Amino acid sequence: MIPIYFAGIDLGSTMTKVVVVDESEKLLAYVVQHTGAEHRRLANRVMEEALSQAGITIDDITYIIATGYGRINVPFADKQITELTCHARGVSHFFPNVSLAIDIGGQDAKAMKIKNGKLIDFMMSDKCAAGTGRYLEVVAQTLGLSIEDLGPISLKSTHKVSISSICTIFAQQEVSNHLSAGVPLEDVVAGLHDAIAGRVARMARRLKVEPDVVFTGGVAKNTGVVRALEENLGCPVLVPSEPLLSGALGAALIARETALKAQAEGKPLQKVGRKLEEATFFKQDDGILSGN
């Protein structure tokens, strides 16, 4: 029997993730790269890297689903599905008993209520950088730290400060004020993590917090935010070993299910013209700007 493959690509505001799975849901390859201004256009390169890792070509892939903020502009995807549905599916793969998934990415924060592996409700915050990965990036830059350092530093804190502003710009001022008042760095960073966790926990509580709670997205790599989230939610928070992948993995798994379902029903699989090439922007008129 010829092996068949499925792929998911998650174009986030900050990171692009590609996952390739086979018929038995086995993860064959994954790539995580910065999206950047160029890479949003060049998502095909990330895909090519994943393909070479798996040792296959684009034609070997039966079905490709794109998700994430940049999902519309993937010329080689067969279908677009929101990151909400894809995260829910990806997280359920790692943690079958998940009831609440929290994802904090570069641009937004989401809380997803999941039942039997399916998304049933969600909340999103996406109006500004407050309480997202970008917030931590900006503050880390102000402090002259790398983003990876924030978690370990905050875990040393004994008296975390309270950061009242979740606005990225004002929080920077508050950080400076605390530091000039002599507050130890670890207490300031712990305060920032608490501010993020508090904000997302308020959103999550509106969906009812029940175990298992799973935390994904780039910010889930920060051990300090994980601890702060556990404190704010009052329950353990599980983090997958590669928290960035849940969206792309979910997309790949849904691609697999869509293809197998079509096969079982004897229906043709709806594919769009698949071109492994650079995305061209603003050609598709999705009606938002035209007003007609």
C-beta of residue 80 within 8 angstroms of C-beta of residue 67? yes
- DSSP string computed for the chain: ----EEEEEEE-SSEEEEEEEETT--EEEEEEEE-HHHHHHTHHHHHHHHHHHHT--GGGEEEEEEESTTGGG-TT-SEE--HHHHHHHHHHHH-TT-SEEEEE-SS-EEEEEEETTEEEEEEEE-SSSTTSHHHHHHHHHHHT--HHHHHHHHHT-SSPPP----SHHHHHHHHHHHHHTT--HHHHHHHHHHHHHHHHHHHHHTT---SPEEEESGGGG-HHHHHHHHHHHTS-EE--SSTT-HHHHHHHHHHHHHHHHHHHTTPPP-------S----S-S--STTT--
Q: Which is nearer to other proteins, 5 or 122 (CB)?
A: 122
* Subset of residues 183 to 202 that bind other proteins, contact rule: CB under 8 A: none
| Dihedral (Cα; 226, 135, 68, 15), 10-degree rounding | -90
- With binding defined as CB under 8 A, does residue 81 bind other proteins? yes
Q: Pick out residues in 56-75 that bind other proteins (CB under 8 A).
A: 69
Q: Is 122 in the site for other proteins (CB under 8 A)?
A: yes
| Closest distance to other proteins from the beta carbon of 82 (Å) | 4
Question: Smallest distance from the beta carbon of 45 to other proteins, in angstroms?
Answer: 24
288 binds other proteins (CB under 8 A): yes
Pick between residue 191 and residue 247 the one whose CB is nearest to other proteins: 247
CB of 80 to other proteins, least distance (A): 8
- Residue 289 within binding range of other proteins, rule CB under 8 A: yes
**Closer of 84 and 214 to other proteins (Cβ):** 84
Nearer to other proteins, 87 or 160 (CB): 87
Q: Which of 33, 53, 82, 223 binds other proteins (CB under 8 A)?
A: 82
Number of residues that bind other proteins (CB under 8 A): 20
Is residue 286 at the binding interface for other proteins, with CB under 8 A as the rule?
yes
* Nearest distance, CB of residue 286 and other proteins, angstroms: 5
- Please return the burial class of 83, using the count of CB atoms within 10 Å of its CB with bins 0-12, 13-18 and 19+: buried
Judged by beta carbon, residue 72 or residue 183, the one nearer other proteins is: 72
Contact predicate 29/53, CB 8 Å: yes
Among 126, 148, 210, 277, binds other proteins (CB under 8 A): 126
Report phi then psi at 285, rounded to 5: -95, 105
Question: What angle is formed at CA 87 by the lines to CA 85 and CA 90, rounded to 5 degrees?
Answer: 110
Q: Among 25, 55, 57, 120, indicate the residue that binds other proteins (CB under 8 A).
A: 120
CB of 31 to other proteins, least distance (A): 23
Span from 4-12, 24-32, 120-128, 226-234 in contact with other proteins (CB under 8 A): 120-128
User: Smallest distance, Å, CB 108 to other proteins?
Assistant: 7
**Does 37 participate in binding other proteins (rule CB under 8 A)?**
no
Among residues 4, 27, 58, 124, the one that binds other proteins under rule CB under 8 A: 124
Give contact residues for other proteins (rule: CB under 8 A).
69, 81-85, 108, 119-122, 124, 126-127, 286-289, 291-292
